[in-house]
Structure 1
């Protein structure tokens, strides 16, 4: 939670910032923590990731005014605060411990409800109003699950909310393996294990094997990043061999009625 906040707020504080995020800046200043000691110099990765999700959710809200957006594993993300259109019904879902921290700084409201529950405990779905299409945002989440857990979650979401739009980010297999062996960001912070890694060319076949009722599937690269060699990623993503081994985003829409 603090690592992603460090990167997002640091980007928002720049004079040439790519993201506007006043709430992240406020959180960053309110939490007394040695960010650089744990996470090192900030980078643009998490801010760029948030921007990609923001655009997709904005497009969906324009098509489904007042519809429900479900943010799984919300942590200290401030997406609702950035893009609230005054009509959306927003649901923040996270573990009770995570929401307890979040609510010290970001209180729930009538249109931004908090549900203290694991994303893998599907009982949280009972608290979502209606059974029609919704947008499910899973930012920085699925890589922490086992593959069978990812499959069960996606299958259940599309069965429970037919015609919904789901978005998540993926890491390549090589990076997943590094985290499982033990990958330190700095001497003071070890990245959590990320069991689910998948290369870009494997995504569509894997979703087909999971028998998801899909109407569309779009794979999106990171559009831009700061600093060398990360700034090369948007161009490298077009190279067949290397591009398959870079992180990216998956945007999919379920069929209106599951079958």
Structure 2
């Protein structure tokens, strides 16, 4: 079968970066993820992953594990809930997470991202695709009223201007009271580095990340942006190789923990 050229640039191209790192784990017998759909997509794209991103690292796979765990917990408590994945790209949560058939999954992403996603993952009555920016509030209307809501923003909010993210969270809190939002975030130093043109490899420059937030800032920032009931932040872990050993050792120190990426879940009031 002929391979598919993704033809993505800018922030949409980062879905290939995260796909590469997740696939690196899914292809291992001892990998963090077991996901044949992920491997299928990875192998079907005509793209030189290592030239752009280097050797696969477990970072995005470990992030996906946290998101999987939180979605499972939500669905266990709310089997008929609605999962809204903002900027989902080629993520394949729905193939790793079993539900009882009552949940609704909604993917919200840019039209070019939805187009490549639908080459491999078709929407249906319980798995809808909405070709809009996460900042376009029209996706709100796709979420049925009266059902518990869990929103994910994996690898997304750091690429948005902070004032636009703040406005989005305020509107979400008003429209979806008691909903949960799970997202990852990068520290200030990394945000500043990307604004200067941070190269991951000689062939790939990470798109600018206008929003960086250190760990101690995340809860007060969230509470200043929207009416929040709870805020919980999770460690962003690395599990493999010397980087994992160094990361675990450094994470014992408050100074370091303050300045590494992390994952936060908020519950709107």
Query: Which interval holds the TM-score relative to the shorter structure?
Result: over 0.9
Distance 2:245 2:182 in 1: 23
Aligned counterpart, 2:251: 237
In structure 1, stretches of 5+ residues that fail to align are none
- Which aligned segments of 4 or more residues in structure 1 are displaced greater than 4 angstroms? none
Instruction: Give the alignment of 1:76-91 within 5 angstroms.
Output: 76-85=90-99, 86-91=101-106
Hey, what does 1:174 align to over in structure 2? 189
Q: C-alpha distance in 1, partners of 2:147/2:167?
A: 20
Inter-partner Cα distance in structure 1 for 2:187 and 2:240: 20
Contact 1:54-1:83 within 8 A present in 2 as well: yes
Quote the residue 2:113 is aligned against. 98
Q: In the alignment, what sits opposite 2:213?
A: 198
Mapped contact 1:12–1:19 kept (Cα < 8 A):
yes
The residue aligned with 2:236 is 222
2:178 maps to which of 163, 174, 177: 163
SS at match of 2:242: coil
Normalised by the length of structure 2, the TM-score is 0.91
1-structure distance, mates of 2:147, 2:93:
22
Residue of structure 1 aligned with 2:261, choices 225, 247, 252: 247
1:148 aligned partner: 163
Kindly tell me the number of residue pairs found equivalent between the two proteins.
254
**What's the CA shift string for 1:53-95, capped at 9, x where partnerless?**
0000100011111110000001010111111313320000001
Q: Secondary structure at the match of 1:185?
A: strand
Number of the residue aligned with 2:58: 44
Cα displacement string for residues 161-187 of structure 1 (whole angstroms, at most 9, x for unaligned residues): 100011000100000111110111111
The structural deviation recorded for 1:2 is: 0.8
CA contact (8 A) 2:80 2:148 kept: no
Q: Any idea what SS the aligned residue of 1:120 has? A: coil
Other structure's SS at 1:228 match = helix
Q: Which stretch shifts more, 122-131 or 44-53?
A: 122-131
The match for 1:116 among 131, 152, 156 is 131
1:127 aligns with 2:142: yes
The alignment's TM-score, normalised by the length of structure 1, stands at 0.95
Mapped contact 2:59–2:237 kept (Cα < 8 A): no
Are 1:69 and 1:91, in contact at CA under 8 Å, matched by a contact in 2? Answer: yes
Aligned to 2:83: 69
Quote the offset at 1:223 in angstroms: 3.6
Structure 2 residue ranges without an equivalent (≥5) = 1-14
| In 2: Cα distance, 1:52 partner to 1:110 partner | 27
* 1:170-207 deviation per Cα after TM superposition (whole angstroms, max 9, x unaligned): 10000011111011111111111111000000111112
Q: Deviations for 1:129-183, whole angstroms, at most 9, x for unmatched residues?
A: 1154300010000000011011011111111010001100010000011111011
The question of whether the paired residues in 1 share the 8 Å contact of 2:80 and 2:147 is answered with no
SS at the partner of 2:106?
Answer: strand
Q: How many angstroms apart in 2 are the aligned matches of 1:230 and 1:176?
A: 22
Q: Is 2:196 the partner of 1:188?
A: no
